[in-house]
A and B are shown apart, each in its own frame.
Chain A
Amino acid sequence: MTGWQALASPRFLVSSWPWRAYLYLFTSIPVGVVTICLLLGAAVTSALLSPIVIGILLLPLFPMFGVVIGWAERWRAGLMLIDGIKSPHAAMPVALSLRDKLKFRRREQASMRSLGYGFVLGVLVWPFSAAFAGLSATILGTTILAPIIADTDEMGMGPWTLNTAWEGLLFTVTFGPVFYAVSSYLLGVLAAAEASLAKAMLGPREDELQRNVAELRRSRLDLVDAFETERARIERHLHDGVQQRLVGLTMTLGLAELDLPEGEGRRLVVKAHSEAEAALADLREAVRGIHPRVLIDLGLEAAIREVADRSPMPVTVSMILDSRLPPPIEAAAYFVVSEALSNVAKHAQATTCQVAGRREGQLLIITITDDGIGGATVGAGTGLTGLVTRLDALGGTLVVDSPPGGPTRLRMECPCQLGD
């Protein structure tokens, strides 16, 4: 709710808004006075000290005044704007020294805008507010107190002269409501206009809002990217390190089998050999879950074909992709298909499944359709939830269409490029 909306409401006069307007206008006086004194003081100090350079060094402080004024005024504007004014300042990059933080804020355009607002507040806004709200409050107060004042003293109110308490009371009940109504609307308009001015100068501009959204997107994308790089690193480590050693071990054990005579010792070595092989198979399975090698080497289509081959039911794959996609996108798409197929195998009671992928303009679209019993959702502990988050960071979506009785259709869409 804003002051303007309150003015349009039929209940304006009996709401708290006229008093909010008074409060807003009156509080502008101390803030405005302090602001203008501060600014003038700082300007005079700088001017006086400029021959000895210190004054010039003080100049960078001015935008910081803007930051403080903006902060205080945005808070005060809460009186007239229930939702308040959002800060126009960008999120501070992490791990900056205090000096760099100050520098960052100082260079923002929003800080200079706030400084400009401080000047307007100090020179125009508060004298205006003080004059109107002061006059109005005085008249209103006198009108209310008219019976008491007129009782003891002769009282001139405009064209009328009031001599008795009864005349005063008559004046209060006739003139009072009219004046309250007219003055409340006038002050309401003034306060709402001041709040709008504050919002325009202290609030975020459209491009600043968009910049914040872009920053958020970028940082999420960075996260996904870092995640991907880390997985690839782990995969490489397991593949080139642990797995090689296990293969070496099976070779040595194989050689030992040749040398050993038939007997208990040889039986144990054969056992050790098959255990090492089982460990290798497990490791291979784990690596596939982390970051499949085929995906890195041969791309999305080959990797999806491979995961389709491992599925217990027949899966038809038709992928039309003319080029490789950025690794995080390939990985997200691969894990969506992989998870979807394992869900189909576990829950759908399907006899066949189709995976179709293609590029439409800048969009990668993959659909997974089965002829099972339907009734699937993304929530319900399907493991797809995490993948939806991952897709979301890439700007993609996953839609599940699964009426009870089937068929189930998953449709994944994802931009083919990272970033905007």
Chain B
Amino acid sequence: MPTRRLSIVLAEDSLLLREGLASILDRAGHEVRDSVGDGDTLLAVVRKEPPDLVITDVRMPPGHSDEGLRAAAAIRAEFPSIGILVLSQYVADAYLSSLLESTTGGIGYLLKDRVGHVAEFLESLDRVASGGTVVDPEVVRQLLARRRNDGPLSALTPRELEVLALMAEGRVNGAIAEQLVVSEAAVRKHVGNIFAKLQLDDGLDRRVSAVLTYLRG
């Protein structure tokens, strides 16, 4: 069960998926305040009464291109405190840059398939709602493949990169330790090294900032 009851606006043009999502959120005890089928209605509904969290599809009518992303960017600009979770039928890191333009507020970018893993999905939801960043493992994999050798990340050891990748997926230290089969203290040490090696923005959560540095390559 969730740590707190979230008020959520859902934007998804497929009725099938909208109802599936709504029933999952409903069962988890969240309030689906509105569900809409296109970007403009999403903006209108959010402006009327800002929710805690917006879940939106990337492609929606009328153009079926990136209406969801554009609505998300507009919401982020007007209401930085609303967490935004973008769901996509397929993922491409190319879409990520437009999502990560701002550094405040929770943001998430997940494949729609992940919704079926209900417990993990709800966890991601909570993280986004409380200002965290959640990026689909598939996108992280793509980014890892692209990692350049001259970026700020070149200073990190392979192990530290691994830890950072898991941080980008939104995992806490305990979960990272479990995944890498090391002690939580070791993870904390790696995280400390990462923070030290990357030149991070002041005034931001260091963890979020490190992840953003990572995602921007």
Residues of A within 8 A of B (CB): 239-240, 243-245, 247-248, 250-255, 257-258, 273, 276-277, 280, 284, 287, 293-294, 297-298, 302, 305-306, 308-310
Count of B residues near A, CB < 8 Å? 27
Chain A residues, CB < 8 A from B65 = 297
12 residue pairs of the A-B complex, CB under 8 angstroms, read A247-B89, A247-B113, A248-B16, A252-B20, A255-B20, A255-B24, A293-B90, A294-B94, A302-B92, A302-B94, A306-B92, A306-B142
Smallest beta-carbon distance B145→chain A, Å: 4
| B21: Cβ under 8 A from any A Cβ | yes
Residues of A within 8 A of B118 (CB): 254-255, 257-258
* Across-interface contacts of A252 in B (CB, < 8 A): 20
**Cβ–Cβ < 8 Å partners of A277 in chain B:** 113, 116
B193 contacts partner chain A, Cβ-Cβ < 8 Å: no
Q: Please name all residues of chain A whose beta carbon is closer than 8 Å to the beta carbon of B66 when the two chains form the complex.
A: 297
Of B94, B112, B115, which one neighbours A298 at CB under 8 angstroms? B94
Q: Are the C-beta atoms of A248 and B17 separated by less than 8 Å?
A: yes
Complex: A310 Cα to B93 Cα, angstroms: 12
| B48 in the interface (beta carbon within 8 A) | no
A244-B16, A248-B17, A250-B116 known; A298-B90 Cβ under 8 A:
no
Chain B residues at the A interface, C-beta cutoff of 8 Å: 14, 16-17, 20-21, 23-24, 27, 65-66, 89-90, 92-95, 112-113, 115-119, 121, 142, 145-146
- Given A247-B17, A258-B27, is A309 in contact with B90 using a C-beta cutoff of 8 Å? no
A250 touches B90 (CB 8 A): no
Shortest beta-carbon distance, A111 to chain B, in Å? 50
In the complex the two chains form, is A251's CB within 8 Å of B115's CB?
yes
Partner of A255, one of B27, B89, B146: B27
Q: Contacts A251-B20, A252-B20, A306-B142 known; list 18 others, CB within 8 Å.
A: A244-B16, A244-B17, A245-B16, A247-B112, A247-B115, A248-B14, A250-B113, A250-B116, A253-B116, A257-B118, A258-B27, A258-B118, A277-B116, A293-B90, A302-B92, A306-B94, A308-B146, A310-B142
The complex places the Cα of A252 from the Cα of B145 at a distance, in Å, of 33
Closest to B23 in A: A255
Residue numbers in A under 8 Å from B142 (CB-CB): 306, 309-310
B68 to A: closest C-beta gap in Å = 12
CA distance A211 to B66 in the complex (A): 43
List B contacts of A297 (CB < 8 A): 65-66
Provide the residues of chain A in CB contact with B117, threshold 8 Å: 254
A251 engages B17 (CB within 8 Å):
yes
In the bound complex, what is the Cα–Cα distance between A287 and B92 (angstroms)? 14
Of A239, A257, A309, the contact of B146 (CB 8 Å cutoff):
A309
Docked-complex contact A254 and B90, CB < 8 angstroms: no
Closest to B146 in A: A309
The answer to whether B90 and A284 touch across the interface, beta carbons within 8 angstroms, is yes
Chain A's closest residue to B142 (CB) is A309
A248 to chain B, nearest CB (A): 4
Could you tell me the distance in whole angstroms from the C-beta of A194 to the nearest C-beta in chain B?
A: 67
Chain B residues, CB < 8 A from A243: 89
Task: Please give, as numbers and ranges, the residues of chain A lying within 8 Å of B23 by CB-CB distance.
Answer: 255
Interface pair A251/B94, CB less than 8 Å apart: no
Q: Which residues of B contact A294 (CB under 8 A)?
A: 92, 94
Chain B residues with Cβ below 8 Å from A251 are: 17, 20-21, 24, 115-116
Report B-chain residues with C-beta under 8 Å of the C-beta of A247: 17, 20, 89, 112-113, 115-116
* B residues near A257, Cβ cutoff 8 Å: 118
Please tell me if the beta carbons of A298 and B17 are within 8 angstroms of each other in the complex: no
